[in-house]
Amino acid sequence: MKRNLFLISNSTNAGEEYLGWIKNDIVDYCRQYGVKEALFIPYAGVNVGQTFEGKTIKDSYDLYFDRVTSVLEQDGLRLRSIHKCDDPAVKHIENAECIIVGGGNTFHLVYALHKLNLMSSIRERVLGGCPYIGWSAGANIACPTMRTTNDMPVIEPKSLDTLGLVPFQINPHYLDANPAGHGGETREDRIKEFLVVNPSVTVVGLREATALVVKNDDIKLTGSRPMRVFRYGTDPQELSAKDDLRIIL
Active-site position among 151, 159, 176, 217: 151
CA distance 229 to 203: 6
Does 136 participate in catalysis according to the annotation? Answer: yes
ω into 179 cis (within 30 of 0): no
Into how many domains does the chain fold? 1
CA distance 121 to 95: 11
Active-site position among 121, 136, 182, 235: 136
Does 189 participate in catalysis according to the annotation? Answer: no
Task: Report the pLDDT value the prediction gives residue 182, as an integer from 0 to 100.
Answer: 67
Task: Report the pLDDT value the prediction gives residue 1, as an integer from 0 to 100.
Answer: 81
CA distance 33 to 105: 29
Task: Report the pLDDT value the prediction gives residue 183, as an integer from 0 to 100.
Answer: 63
Range of the domain at 44: 4-248
Which tens digits make up the pLDDT trace of 74-105? 888 999 999 999 888 899 999 999 999 999 99
CATH code, 223: 3.40.50.880
- At 81, phi and psi to the nearest 5? -105, 135
**pTM of whole model > 0.85?**
yes
CA distance 21 to 64: 18
Does 83 participate in catalysis according to the annotation? Answer: no
Question: Residue 195: enclosing H or E segment and its boundaries?
Answer: helix 187-197
Task: Report the pLDDT value the prediction gives residue 74, as an integer from 0 to 100.
Answer: 86
Active-site position among 60, 173, 189, 217: 173
Residue 2, C-beta contacts closer than 8 angstroms, at least 6 positions apart: 127, 128, 129, 216
CA distance 145 to 167: 10
pLDDT tens digits in sequence order for the chain, 249 residues long: 899 999 999 999 989 999 999 999 999 999 999 999 999 999 999 999 876 677 889 999 999 999 999 999 988 899 999 999 988 889 999 999 999 999 999 999 999 999 999 999 999 999 999 999 999 999 999 999 999 999 999 999 999 999 999 999 999 999 987 767 766 789 999 999 999 999 999 999 999 999 999 999 999 999 989 999 999 999 999 999 999 999 999
Burial profile 192-223: b = 16 or more Cβ within 10 angstroms, e = fewer: eebbeebeebbbbbbbbbbbbbbeeeebebeb
CA distance 121 to 59: 25
Helix (H, G, I), strand (E, B) or coil at 218: strand
CA atoms within 13 A on the CB side of 33: 23
Strand partners, 218: 215
